[in-house]
Amino acid sequence: MAPVPNPRRAELQQLIAQARAHVDRLETALDPACNQFAGQAIWVGRTAQGFARELAGHRTRVRAVARAVLATLEEEMRRTPSEVSPGEAKSP
């Protein structure tokens, strides 16, 4: 039988689009808080400095994890054939 479009690719395309939208939001989610600490003395002292470092670390981690999720989905898309047999297309 002739190959048919792989339904997994359509699923992955949808997931990638959703992930990109979330990544855009996640990458900037902690920016306002980080910018407040960087821009003005809203809280001072050793505890504040530690909190600011921790907050910046969380922002870096959130960005890295969000990008890793997107990269994983994109890699899965690259490995997924565009066409499969009709039987494979029906398999879960």
Q: What is the CATH number of the domain that holds 65?
A: 1.10.287
20: which 2 tokens?
A: 């990109």
Half-sphere exposure of 16 (CA within 13 A, CB side): 14
Q: Dump the DSSP string for 14-47.
A: HHHHHHHHHHHHHHHTTHHHHHHHHHS-SS-SHH
Structural domain containing residue 70 = 4-80
pTM value? 0.80
Asked if residues 82 and 5 have their Cβ atoms less than 8 Å apart, the reply is yes
DSSP alpha helix (H) spans, 40-90: 46-79, 86-90
90 in any annotated domain: no
86 in any annotated domain: no
For 7, the enclosing helix (H) or strand (E) is helix 7-28
What does each of the 92 residues of the chain score in pLDDT, given as a tens digit? 899 999 999 999 999 999 999 999 999 999 999 888 877 777 888 998 899 999 999 999 999 999 999 999 999 999 999 999 988 888 76
Q: pLDDT (tens digit, 9 = 90+) per residue, 4-16? A: 999 999 999 999 9
Asked if residues 69 and 19 have their Cβ atoms less than 8 Å apart, the reply is yes
SS3 63: helix
88 in any annotated domain: no
User: Structurally, how many domains does the chain consist of?
Assistant: 1
36 in any annotated domain: yes
